[in-house]
Amino acid sequence: MTLTSLRRICAAVALTAAAVATAPAHAQLSLSSLFSPASKTKYPIVLVHGFIGFDNVLGIQYFYQIPKALRDDGATVYIASVNPSQTTEFRGEELVQQMKQWAAKDGVKKFNLIGHSHGGPTVRYAAGTVPTMVASVSTMAATHFGSKVADDILANTTPDGTFDKVATAGLQLIGWLTGNTTYKQADLLTALNALSTPGAQAFNAKFPVGAPTTTCGNGPEVASVNGNSMRWYSFSGTSVKTNGWDISDAILAYTADYFKGEANDGLVGRCSSHWGKVIKDNYAWNHLDEVNQVLGIVGKDAPDPVAFYKQHANRLKLSGL
């Protein structure tokens, strides 16, 4: 190595240190953190599943292969277990109680919350209820403004009919298999009302922080709840049939018809997913691809969902979170 090269390296290190020292307080990083594993965030990551979701069933995780990849890359990851089919507030309160348990057990001060589908409003409930415990809120294909699929099913379902009873029994079985303690309270119509357009509007009125400032636009990247600043991000896909080997594609292609031409991922419309800063709302993913399901089968030319979550963890890390 020449003396000139050595001087350049030293100068680069000095500039990096200066940048760290002069960064805003909320984003200050140490040199050690810059060179730590890419997904090693300051605060642990919490993954929250959506409607009909689970943390782990028969050894298969909802966020397929994602927690391990994040952990292998330096992150501390918790996986929430919330009711597969209940109100946002019910699920959110379950999440809050788990956060408090993790905080007490492991000495955690704050969490980076990531929610998929109904998990999006669920993490917003936690941010609005215990804001001192939340560093960031990130949502993937979340039902922030409801789902037209829920609207249509509600409009064509007879209350207390056979369909409702059979579906509810199936949802309770999912909750039981995953070990959720409130599985007996799972109920299809209750969840569909929460996921509907009117249900989302009512929830948003109570928890408005991070909302887009224009129709189908962006919300703030940084916003506070009761004086507690946190970052807000959202993402989603707009593809439906992505891989012929994926057994879920046919189902999502059917539900996509409810949107009548509006861009969607099979269950959530593109604009409904917007909350906080929209990083990207048209990934080549359907609603299950977004969590690397089923069993990691996505489109040939689609981005790797596992790599996406690692990239986002790095985004949080570089923001000092």
Query: With contact defined as beta carbons under 8 Å apart, do 200 and 127 qualify?
Result: no
Length, in residues, of the chain:
321
Phi, psi of 115 (to 5 degrees): -120, 140
Which entry of 249, 287, 289, 319 is annotated as an active-site residue? Answer: 287
Helix (H) or strand (E) holding 79: strand 77-79
- Whether 164 is catalytic: no
Q: Tokens in use for 202?
A: 């009512």
Phi, psi of 283 (to 5 degrees): -60, 150
Which entry of 85, 117, 147, 273 is annotated as an active-site residue? Answer: 117
- Whether 265 is catalytic: yes
Question: Distances in Å between the alpha carbon of 308 and those of 44, 121, 285, 320?
Answer: 17, 21, 12, 19
Q: What angle do CA 41, 47, 50 make, to 5 degrees?
A: 155
Which entry of 265, 272, 274, 319 is annotated as an active-site residue? Answer: 265
- CA-closest candidate to residue 44, choices 12, 86, 72, 74: 74
Catalytic residues: 117, 265, 287
